[in-house]
Amino acid sequence: QQQVKQSPQSLIVQKGGISIINCAYENTAFDYFPWYQQFPGKGPALLIAIRPDVSEKKEGRFTISFNKSAKQFSLHIMDSQPGDSATYFCAASMGNNDMRFGAGTRLTVKP
Amino acid sequence: DAGVIQSPRHEVTEMGQEVTLRCKPISGHNSLFWYRQTMMRGLELLIYFNNNVPIDDSGMPEDRFSAKMPNASFSTLKIQPSEPRDSAVYFCASSNSPINIQYFGAGTRLSVL
């Protein structure tokens, strides 16, 4: 039932480096693609989201790149900081609020 | 706003016991979701409600699981009888349809011994 595939499972980046997490989806009816950030002991929180009518969205150090033809999207974290260390989930939904999450990527940013 | 409130935060019970998890969504939100998070299976959608009506419960693992939403400000997820494999973190989330942003509670960590 996994409709959103996420990689890598874990990622270690040096402070100041670029973190890249990739996701691929199957259902072309998906029309909303958010990324959630989860810190230990907390629930996931919306980080940034994109709709398929644009190819890129940037908010501060966080950028989503979206490739509709390839059915792929990715999260780029520029100038990664230790405070960015968390688990990141990509997700996709099709307007009916039925959201499917990727398996998650545990990011560790080393000082 | 206090956000989505879940209780209890931690629950330890013995196999065979009934477990009830509680959720208070954000006021004004009309959709509520129950998720289960485990290392093996990640974040799984169990059931979601729209305007207090269950829309999709296909993620509910088996008949031992049930969920109710008697009003717009309260929902429960019940497991009866509980089994060790039910051990997980259970999250409740709410949103204000048609806006898809889901706001998650802090979760309930369930341990079934």
Q: Which residues of B touch A36 (CB under 8 A)?
A: 104
Say if the Cβ atoms of B42 and A102 lie within 8 Å.
Answer: yes
Q: Which residue has the higher pLDDT, A94 or B99?
A: A94
Q: Which residues of B touch A42 (CB under 8 A)?
A: 106-107
Name which of B24, B102, B103, B109 to mutate to probe chain A: the one with the most chain A Cβ atoms within 10 A of its Cβ: B102
Say if the Cβ atoms of A34 and B100 lie within 8 Å.
Answer: yes
Question: Residue A35 CB: number of other CB atoms within 10 A?
Answer: 23
> How many angstroms separate the CA of residue A32 from the nearest CA in chain B?
8
Residue B74: the pLDDT is 96
What Cα–Cα distance (Å) separates residue A107 from each residue in A14, A38, A40, A88, B113? 11, 10, 12, 7, 31
Name which of A5, A32, A97, A106 to mutate to probe chain B: the one with the most chain B Cβ atoms within 10 A of its Cβ: A97
> Which residues of A have a CB under 8 Å from any CB of B?
32, 34, 36, 41-46, 49, 89, 93, 95-104
Residue A94 has pLDDT above 90, yes or no: no
Residue A69: the pLDDT is 93
Residue B42: the pLDDT is 86
Residue A1 has pLDDT above 60, yes or no: no
> How many angstroms separate the CA of residue A44 from the nearest CA in chain B?
6
- Structure letter (DSSP) for residue B84: G
**Digit-coded pLDDT (tens) for B12-39:** 999 999 999 999 999 999 999 999 999 8
> How many angstroms separate the CA of residue A97 from the nearest CA in chain B?
6
Residue A80 has pLDDT above 80, yes or no: yes
- Checking B79-83 for CB contacts under 8 A at 24+ apart, the result is B79/B18, B79/B19, B79/B110, B80/B18, B80/B19, B81/B15, B81/B16, B81/B17, B81/B18, B82/B13, B82/B14, B82/B15, B82/B16, B82/B17, B82/B18, B82/B19, B82/B110, B82/B112, B83/B15, B83/B112
Q: Which residue has the higher pLDDT, B56 or A11?
A: A11
Say if the Cβ atoms of A43 and B107 lie within 8 Å.
Answer: yes
Q: Which residues of B touch A101 (CB under 8 A)?
A: 42-43, 45
Q: Binning pLDDT at 50, 70 and 90, where does residue A3 land?
A: confident
SS3 A27: coil
- For chain B, state the CA radius of gyration: 13
Question: Residue A107 CB: number of other CB atoms within 10 A?
Answer: 21
Residue B39: the pLDDT is 85
Polymer length of chain B: 113
Nearest to B100 among A32, A42, A44 (CB): A32
Mean pLDDT of all residues in B37-60 = 90
d(CA A26, CA A76): 21
Mean model confidence pLDDT for chain A: 93
Residue B103: the pLDDT is 93
